[in-house]
Chain A
Amino acid sequence: MDQIQTAYDQIPYNSVSFPQTHPDRLATVATLLGLDPPPIERCRVLELGCASGGNLLPMAQGLPGSEFVGLDLSGRQVSEGQKAIAALGLKNIVLLHQNLLEVEPDFGQFDYIIAHGVYSWVPPAVQAKLLDICRRNLRPNGVAYVSYNTYPGWRLHSTVRDMLLYHLQQVAEPAERISQARELIDFLAESILAEGNPHASFLHSYVNYVRERFLPDGDDAYLFHNELAEVNEPVYFHQFAERAAEHGLKYLGEAQFQTMLATNLPPKVAASLSRIARNTIALEQYMDFLRNRTFRQTLLCHQEVQLKGKLTPDRLAYFYMASSALPESPELDIFSTRVDKFRAPNGDTLATDHPITKAALFHLSRMWPQAVQFNDLLAAACRLLNINVPQDPLSPDRQILGANLLKGFTYNEDLVEFHVYAPHFTLEIGDRPVVSPVARYEARRGSRVTNLRHELVNLEGLPHSMFPYLDGSWNRAGLLRILEKWVAEGVLEVRQEDGGPMAANQLRDTLAEMLESTLRSLANAALLIS
Chain B
Amino acid sequence: MGEFKAAVQAAENIYDRVPYPVISHSSTHPDRLATVATLLGMDPAPLEQCRVLEIGCAGGGNLIPMAQALPDSKFVGIDLSAEQVAQGETMRTALRLTNVTLQQMDIMEVTPALGDFDYIIAHGIYSWVPLPVRDKLLEICRQNLAPNGVAYVSYNTYPGWNMLGALREMMRYHTRRLVDPQAQITEARVLLDFLAKSISTDGNTHGSFLYVYVNYIKDYFLPKNDAFLLHDELAEINDPIYFHQFAEQAEKHGLKYLGDVQFSSMLATNLPAEISNQLRRMANNTVELEQYLDFLTNRMFRQSLLCHQAVRLSAQLNPTRLRRFYVASSALAESDKPSLAPGQVERFQTPDGANFATDQPLAKAAMLHLIDVWPQAVAFDDLVTQAQARLGSRQVGADRLDEETRMLGANLLKAYSYSDNLVELHVYAPRFVSDISERPVASPVARFQARQGHSLTNLRHERLNLDKISALILPYLDGEHDRAGLLALMQASDAVEITRQDGRPIEDPAEWNFALAELLQAKLQQFANAALLVG
Contacts and interface: CB of A to CB of B under 8 A. Distances in A.
Interface stretch (A84-92, A184-192, A302-310): A184-192
Most B CB contacts (10 A, CB to CB) among A187, A213, A293 go to A187
Contacts of B207: 290-292
Contact of B159 (A151, A196, A203): A203
B298 A199 contact: yes
A152 B210 contact: yes
B295 to A, nearest CB: 5
A290 B195 contact: yes
Nearest to B190: A276
Interface stretch (A95-103, A156-164, A357-365): A156-164
Contacts, number: 114
A221 B174 CA distance: 38
Contact of B166 (A155, A187, A193, A209): A155
Nearest to B170: A289
B296 A156 contact: no
Given A158-B162, A265-B198, A285-B173, A292 B206 contact: yes
B206 A291 contact: yes
A202 interface: yes
A272 interface: yes
B158 A159 contact: yes
Given A162-B242, A292-B209, A238 B162 contact: no
B279 to A, nearest CB: 8
A190 B274 CA distance: 10
B278 interface: yes
Contacts of B174: 276
A206 interface: yes
Contacts of B213: 202
Contacts of B300: 199
Contact of A187 (B160, B278, B291): B278
Nearest to B160: A199
A9 to B, nearest CB: 30
A241 B275 CA distance: 45
Interface string A40-63: 000000000000000000000000
A232 interface: no
Contacts of A190: 275
Contacts of A197: 297-298
Contacts of B163: 155-156, 159, 202
Contacts of B198: 265-266, 268-269, 272-273, 290
B299 A199 contact: yes
Contacts of A285: 173
Interface in A151-181: 151-153, 155-156, 158-159, 162-163, 166-167
A209 B212 CA distance: 15
Contacts of B210: 152, 156, 292
A430 to B, nearest CB: 43
For this complex, into which size category does the number of interface residues on chain A fall? 35 or more
B389 interface: no
B169 interface: yes
A205 interface: yes
Contacts of B200: 265-266, 290-291
Contacts of A202: 163, 209, 212-213, 298
A109 to B, nearest CB: 36
A200 interface: yes
Contact of B296 (A151, A162, A188): A188
A198 interface: yes
Contacts of B323: none
A236 interface: yes
Interface string A266-293: 1011001100100000000100011111
B434 to A, nearest CB: 33
B95 interface: no
A294 B158 contact: no
A367 to B, nearest CB: 30
A166 B298 contact: no
A116 B242 CA distance: 31
A199 B169 CA distance: 19
B237 to A, nearest CB: 18
B298 A203 contact: yes
B16 to A, nearest CB: 30
A442 B74 CA distance: 78
A162 B159 contact: yes
Contacts of A188: 295-296
Interface string A116-157: 000000000000000000000000000000000001110110
Contact of B209 (A192, A196, A200, A206): A206
Most B CB contacts (10 A, CB to CB) among A151, A199, A213, A238 go to A199
A291 B199 CA distance: 7
Contact of B204 (A213, A269, A291): A291
Given A192-B296, A290-B195, A238 B209 contact: no
A166 B291 contact: yes
B165 interface: yes
A291 B204 CA distance: 7
Given A156-B166, A156-B209, A206-B209, A236 B173 contact: yes
A165 to B, nearest CB: 10
Contacts of A155: 162-163, 165-166, 169
Contacts of B165: 155
B244 interface: yes
Interface in B284-338: 291, 295-300
Contact of B216 (A156, A166, A198): A198
A166 B288 CA distance: 9
Contacts of B291: 166
Given A156-B206, A292-B204, 8 more contacts: A152-B210, A155-B166, A191-B296, A202-B209, A205-B209, A213-B205, A290-B195, A292-B199
21 contacts: A151-B169, A152-B166, A152-B169, A159-B159, A159-B162, A159-B163, A162-B158, A162-B159, A162-B162, A163-B295, A167-B282, A197-B297, A203-B159, A269-B197, A272-B194, A289-B170, A292-B166, A292-B206, A292-B209, A292-B210, A294-B206
Interface of A: 151-153, 155-156, 158-159, 162-163, 166-167, 187-188, 190-193, 196-200, 202-203, 205-206, 209, 213, 236, 238, 265-266, 268-269, 272-273, 276, 285, 289-294
